Each structure stands twice: as C-alpha cells, then as structure tokens.
Amino acid sequence: MKAVISIPKNINYSEVGLKVGLEIHQQLNTRNKLFCNCPPSLVSDDILSHLIPYERFLRATRSELGDVDAAASFEFQRKRLFKYLLPSVASCLVELDEEPPHLLNEDALVTALAIALAIGSFIVDEVHVMRKIVIDGSNTTGFQRTAIVALGGHITDYDGDVGIQSIAVEEDAARKIGEDITSVSYSLDRLGIPLIEISTAPDISTPSQARRVAEKIGLMLRFTGRTKRGIGTIRQDLNLSIKGSPKIEIKGVQKLELIPRVIEEEVRRLVGLTMIKDLLIERGASNEEIKAQHIVEVTDILSKSSSKLILNAVREGGKAYAVKLPKFAGVLGIELQTDRRFGTELADYARQWAGVKGIIHSDELPGYGIDENIVSALRSILEVSDLDAFVIVVDKPEKAKRALEVIKDRCIMAIAGIPKETRAANEDGTTRYMRPQPGAARMYPETDIPPIRITSELIEEAKKLIPPTVEEKVNYFVKVYNLSSELAKQLVYSEYMALFEQLVSTYGVNPRILATLFTSLYGELKKNGVDMDLLSDNSYHKIAAIVKSLGDVSKEDLIAITEIVYKYPQLSIEEIVSKMKSRRSVDIGKLRELVRSKIMEFSDEVKKRREKAFQFIMGKVMNEVRGYADGKTVANIVKEELESFLRNAKT
C-alpha cells in the first residue's frame, strides 16, 4: 500500500519551535592518557592482528539511589560478549580495569580551564571525577570517567548568543574494530585518551546556526594548540527538540558540514511522527488493540514464495512469524527521512532489541519474491482489513517473536507521539535508533580518584593557553609568517594550523611553502590519490625535514615530495632528498623530446586550442615526469616547444 501522507521537506524552523544544543567532544594532544602514563595514540591493524583478546560480559549496576539506568538495562538485555585487544605500546592494566586509575592528567585539566576562562565560565573550586554508566562494551569498567571543570558562559552568534551549560574532561571510549550479533571487539588504544566536552544550552534555532557555533567552539579548542587532528578526533553530538517532542540525542556527527543536514533530516522525522500520531488517532488506533494481537507462525505460507531471504533463513532453522498492526495501513511506507520510512524505524528497533537482520512489512508487498496470492493468504490468516498492516520476521523462533513484540511496543509509542531516544548519525545525514535515552541514574562518584583543588597556579597556567579570536590569529600569521591575509585565513580554519606552527618552529623552513601545502595543494594532492588526512604528524615532520635539506622548493617539488612520502613511507629522508636532487638534474634533451612527442601525439588538439593548449600539454607531460623533473623547467620547455610548433603550423 502506498504511503498515506507526505512529510514536507521545507520546514519553517521557527514555526515548529526547533531547539538544538551541542555537545562537542575533542581529543586532546597531551603527552599521556587521562588516568595513566600510556601515550594517547592509536596502533596499526598489523599490531592488533597479533594480539589475543580478553573476553568479558558487563552487567548493569544501580546508582546511588538504587535505580538502574534505562540505557544500561537495554545493553545488558542484549547479552553480548565483549573482546578486548590490549596493545602494550598504547594501553596498560588501567585500561583493562586491572589497576586503579592514576591521578587526572593536569595538562588536560589546564586546557579545559583555558577554554572556561575564554568563554567566561564559572570554574568550580574542586574537580570531582564521576562514573557514567556505559555497558555497551566501549569501557572495560562498565562506566566512563568524567569530571566537570566549569559551568556557564556563552558563545556569541549573530542569531543570538548561545549559552554554555558545562565544560568537562573525560576519557575517550575504546575503539570498535568489529562486531556481530553476539559479540563486539574493541582495541584499548583509544580508551583513556583525554577528551574535552563542551555542552551548550538548547539556544540554537536553525541548522546553519548550529554549524556556526560548532565551528566557533572547534576553532577555539584548536587555537589552544593542545588538540589532536584527523578523522575521529572530534565528534559533535546533538540534542534536538521541536514543539511537543521530547529531547532527542543524536550521537557521532563526525563532520562539521554534516550538522545542518542531520538537523534537517531529524526535524523532518519528528514532524512526520507527529503527523503519523494525528493520523492514527483519527483512525481510532488504540494501545489495547495492538497489545491484543497474537504473533502467528506463517512459515508454511511463506515457504511457497521465491524469496531467497526467507528460504535461506528457513533452511538454517529459522521460522517465519507475523503480527497484525491495526489501523497502520500505509503508515509503514511513510518516508520520514531520505530513503528511510516508518518501517525502517520498526526494523531499527527490532535489530537493536532482538538482534534480527530485518523485517518485511505489508506496505512494501507484493515484493521480495512474495506475490499477491501469498499476501492474500497472509491477510486472511491474520484477519487484516483495509486499514490494517502487518509485519513479518524470519529468524530463530525466540528472536523473531521478541522482534515482533518490540515492534508492537514501538507502534504503541507511535500513537502517543515521539519516543525519547538516543540515535546515531548516518553518513548521509539521516539518523537511526540506537537505544533508550539514559537518565540521571547513570552517574555516581568515582571513589578511586581524590578531588582536585583548582589552585591559583593552575589558573595562571591556563591563562597562557587562552585562545585568541580568529581575527587575532589571522593578523598574527600575516605579521609573523609574512603570509597573505587570504592564505592566513585559510590556514587558521584548517585543522593543520597547530602542526604548521610546530613545523615552522622546528625546521625553520619558509612558512609560505608549508602554508601552501596545507591549503591550496590539499585538493590537488587528493586528485593525485594523496589523502593528506591519512598522513601522520611524523610524515609531515619528514616532509618539512626534506624541504629544509633541499632549500627553496617549487610547488611541483612540494607535490612530488608529499606523494613520495605518502606512497613510499619506508623511504628515509636521505633517500627522498637524493631522489629529488636527481630529479633536478634531469636530462634536458630527453625532456624536450618527450614534450615534442606529446605535442605531436595531440597535434589536432593543440591546433584547435592554440596558445590555450599549454595546460593540456603540461598535464600530459607531468603525468610522466612528476617526481623526476622540476615543474618550472617543464613549463619553460612546453612553452618554447608549443610556440615553435604553432609558428611552423602557420607556414
């Protein structure tokens, strides 16, 4: 059956009463982890492949008031086995929860204090470390250690100031490296890396404002010079609501540019769920009627289908079960987000709570090898009317029945409106259900770490790290490094800014050369297959050392050096310097022959383009000599040979 309502894509955020709060989590580039002396770095897959995992189950515990947190209870019911890999170069017994935590990392604390001073927050007198219950396996202890450092303050924005609720330091979670239905594998190298968490008040009213505020906070953190860079080092979580909805938590928005899209998609979902609620009430849907529906085995009926999905599941010992959903006809096919329907919401719940792979629902039938005759038989045995829908799950009997009970519960929630959830951000900006939202029952004091008194000495250290404004940083780069204002601005907004300053200071190379590498050459290198985000800091130190050894280098030299370091990491600095020097002494005669051959090979194109053929021929030649010939030398020869060819072509 077709969807019975359509959710608008262009929504007036003021009319729906959008409120958004941000939680920015940024890894800090300290010497040690937050509660031990291990270096805060990730290890290679090769190291992990040689390790034997430690295996554990985690259980939900009660808070100080005797309550069990809903999110912790959800994870415990999944009964998954957790496997931990302990690389000795980046983790120890503290991460494995076999040794008490050490004292809180003072560098991380001072960085948080600097941010608090910059935005006018109230700094607490004593920092008390707390335990936040987390039993999804990402913390071996069953909790995450977190400590509030400051409260209050604000971020200025032209759509209105945004309040800061809290600034905290906390330990990052273990790194997930694999999972299946029954188990999850983690590496403990990331566990314990210091994070600073900045939580804003729900004062943000549009998707674009959310991006601006997140960018401003991110720059402020970066300007301390104490943050890590690269994929996974910063994460934005969103807390979002509209009129009549509870607060929805959205976890793991990795890219700044994705924030507006996630908000747009989630608001559309919330508006859609409100419309579904109104439709169900209008149809007379009731909790009691849904609860009364029996789960019916339909294996015999579906075994006549041509669906490989169903037949394979039955062959492996699974059975097919179905349940009627009164008054839900057409509802399961309603698109709530791009390519995600209400039926997708039900499937997410079934996957998370029961561990099934997916569901089949009546709004998408006939289909999946299930023809009209089978659909009619299902409608008959389930006593489905024109206003009713049904859902099928094929799996082991216990899991299938559990999944259908969960689906019934989710449909009852739909009559009430919008459930309070924690959701995950997908790469396309849509969101998916993760778990119930945690409550206050998940927090209790850490008894292994004494309170830390905020002394005047700590405040004085923090004052040295107070970040400048964007304008101040740009002006500083123009004055100190002799960069153009445009290049300085690009660099300031780049995540390589702190690394740039470090490299210039360490190697004394021309700042404009490195600034160009981190800005205008970024895209050009990507086209050549070089992803600069995947290069380590050590690789950039290598590039700077090579530039220093060579002295003045051209743009083409810099591209060639970066490509060599990226593609041949085993080569030493001396080997690459030697390679680059031999490149500069290339045989001019052979190079000129190559240019002439390319002009003749593409002579028709050259005659057509005339003088504009320069870039075309230059590109063809550089494809063959990049890394072996200097770009300036090639350009001069191409120019000379083109002029000669075009002169002769006229006569």
pLDDT tens per residue, range 453-478: 999 999 999 999 999 999 999 999 99
pLDDT at residue 225 greater than cutoff 70: yes
pLDDT of residue 462: 97
pLDDT at residue 262 greater than cutoff 90: yes
pLDDT of residue 194: 98
pLDDT of residue 62: 64
Helices 631-650 and 614-625: angle between axes, nearest 10 degrees: 130
pLDDT digits (tens, 9 = 90+) for 593-611: 888 998 898 888 888 888 8
The hierarchical CATH code for the domain 280-417 is 3.30.1360.30
Q: Which class for 172: exposed (0-12), middle (13-18), buried (19 or more C-beta within 10 A)?
A: buried
pLDDT of residue 605: 85
| Ramachandran angles phi, psi of 322, nearest 5° | -140, 155
Instruction: Tell me the residue ranges of DSSP E strands in 14-121.
Output: 19-27, 54-56, 81-85
Summarize the confidence of residues 24-46 as an average pLDDT.
95
The Cα-based distances of 243 to 162, 266, 269, 307 in angstroms read: 19, 14, 13, 43
Q: How many CB atoms lie within 10 A of CB 582?
A: 10
CB–CB of 114/167 below 8 Å?
A: no
The hierarchical CATH code for the domain 588-650 is 1.10.10
pLDDT of residue 68: 64
Summarize the confidence of residues 165-169 as an average pLDDT.
98
Judged by average pLDDT, the poorest of 118-132, 212-226, 240-254, 542-556 is 542-556
Summarize the confidence of residues 101-116 as an average pLDDT.
97
Judged by average pLDDT, the poorest of 65-69, 317-321, 325-329, 336-340 is 65-69
The model's confidence at residue 72, banded by pLDDT at 50, 70 and 90, is: low
User: Over pLDDT 70: what percentage of the chain?
Assistant: 95
The model's confidence at residue 586, banded by pLDDT at 50, 70 and 90, is: low
- Before 194, cis peptide (omega within 30)? no
The Cα-based distances of 460 to 225, 454, 472 in angstroms read: 17, 11, 21
pLDDT of residue 193: 98
The Cα-based distances of 269 to 6, 125, 263, 431, 438 in angstroms read: 11, 43, 10, 9, 21
Whole-number average pLDDT of the chain: 91
- Report which DSSP code applies to 104: P
pLDDT of residue 582: 75
Q: Which class for 522: exposed (0-12), middle (13-18), buried (19 or more C-beta within 10 A)?
A: middle
pLDDT at residue 326 greater than cutoff 90: yes
155 three-class SS? strand
Domain range list for the chain: 20-241, 280-417, 468-584, 588-650
Judged by average pLDDT, the poorest of 70-74, 268-272, 604-608 is 70-74
pLDDT at residue 301 greater than cutoff 80: yes
pLDDT of residue 60: 66
